[in-house]
Amino acid sequence: AQSVAQPEDQVNVAEGNPLTVKCTYSVSGNPYLFWYVQYPNRGLQFLLKYITGDNLVKGSYGFEAEFNKSQTSFHLKKPSALVSDSALYFCAVRDQAGTALIFGKGTTLSVSS
């Protein structure tokens, strides 16, 4: 069965520093991977996806993610964090049938000024 794991409940980083939010996955076949962000009392906003191709995927708001097949990871990164990046981040994988998204439990990112 497809699954994703986000090993950190919370990541703390100072404004201006690089940030990484970790995600590992387990799939049968080719992975279709996604990152979403959720701000308080808001819906999920799509950040980026990996379907195929280049292992470094660029997304919205300066975020990027690195797909690593050998380590089955899809870590979210940003070179310079902003206080406004503070939110709940979800990694997701498309299920085997290509329908639902299977989400990790989420990682709270806190960026301090």
Partner 1 sequence: DSGVTQTPKHLITATGQRVTLRCSPRSGDLSVYWYQQSLDQGLQFLIQYYNGEERAKGNILERFSAQQFPDLHSELNLSSLELGDSALYFCASSPLGYSEQFFGPGTRLTVL
Binding site for partner 1 (CB under 8 A): 32, 34, 36, 42-46, 49, 51, 90, 94-95, 97-106
- For the bound state, the minimum distance from the C-beta of residue 102 to partner 1, rounded and expressed in Å, comes to 7
Nearest of 94, 91, 89 to residue 31 by alpha carbon: 94
- For the bound state, the minimum distance from the C-beta of residue 18 to partner 1, rounded and expressed in Å, comes to 25
b (16+ CB within 10 A) / e for 31-67: bbbbbbbeeeeeebeebbbbeeeeeebebeeebbbbb
- For the bound state, the minimum distance from the C-beta of residue 16 to partner 1, rounded and expressed in Å, comes to 29
